Amino acid sequence: MFQGEFAETSPQGQKHVYPTSLLVTTERARTMEYKWSNTGNFTRKSYTCGHCGHKVGPDKGYSCSVERAGGEKEVGRAAYIYICPHCTRPTFFDADQTQIPGVRIGSEVVGVTDKNVEALYDEVRDCAAAGAYTAAVLVSRKILMNLAVHKGASEGKSFLEYVEYLADKGYVPPDGKEWVDVIRSKGNEANHEIRIMRKDDALLILRFVEMLLRFVYEFPSMMTKPAKQEKAGTTQKPDSGEGVV
C-alpha cells in the first residue's frame, strides 16, 4: 500500500504535515498540497485531471499488476495511479484505461450569484463525470427549480410549472420549444418512473442547464463590470492616436 502526506499552513503561519491515503474533497482540501512518497517513474500520461480540470502529463505515480480471479496474471496489463503536477491529487487508470475520477462534464459558468445554484451545478457535473447519470438528471431538476424561484417564480410549484415559467419569461431561445418538451419529459421520467437515465439523457439536460445559467448569470455579469468601472471613472479611454508617426 502506498503512503502519502499532505501539508497545510494554518492562519498563524504554522505548517502541519498529515499522513493520508484517501482523497479529501472538501473546500479546505483544495488549498492543500499533497506530498506523495515512494512514487515510481513511468511513461508520461496525458489526461485532463478530474480534480482541478487542468490538462497534464505526469510521469510519476504507482502501478500494480492485473490478475484474474483465479490468480492468473494478465500479461502486459497493469493499472496506474498518476499524480497531477498541478493539484498533486491522484488519478487512477484501470487496465482498460478507465479514468477515476473522470473529467467533469460541461463547462464552468462564471458570475453565478446564487450559491445554492452554483453548488448544485458543480454537483451535477461531478455526478455525470462519475457515471451517475440518473443522479445528474435529478440534480439538474433541482437547479431549474431553484433558478425559476430565483427569477421570481413562487415556491411550491411543480417541476413542469417551473420549466414553463422559465420558457415564458424568455430564458429559453425562441426556437427552443423542442428543448423544453424534452427537458420536461426526461425530468419527469427520472423523478417519477423507475427508469435509469443514460449518458445521453444527462448530457442533454446538462447542456440545457448550462445554457440557462449563462443567460441568467454569466452574460449579465459581463455587462455589470464595465458599467461599474464607468461609474467609478476607471474605464480606459481609447487611444486617440496622437503622437503616432
Better-predicted residue by pLDDT, 153 or 9: 153
Model pLDDT, residue 10:
38
Domain annotation covers residue 234? no
91 and 166 housed in the same domain: no
Indicate whether 166 pLDDT > 70: yes
185 with 140, same domain: the answer is yes
The tens digit of pLDDT for each residue in 16-26 reads 444 433 334 43
Mean pLDDT across 173-201: 72
Question: Do residues 65 and 122 share a domain?
Answer: no
Closest C-alpha to 45, from 58, 60, 63: 58
Whether 181 and 140 map to the same domain: the answer is: yes
pLDDT the model gives residue 173: 79
**Residue 120 Cα distances to 33, 52, 191, 199, angstroms:** 26, 18, 17, 18
Count: domains in the chain: 2
Q: Output the pLDDT for position 191.
A: 58
pLDDT tens figures, 195-232: 788 888 888 889 989 998 998 899 988 887 655 555 55
Name the band, by pLDDT with cuts 50, 70 and 90, for residue 28: very low
Residue 86 lies in a domain: yes
Structural domain range at position 64: 4-100
Q: What does the alpha-carbon distance between residue 8 and residue 53 come to, in Å, rounded to a whole number?
A: 22
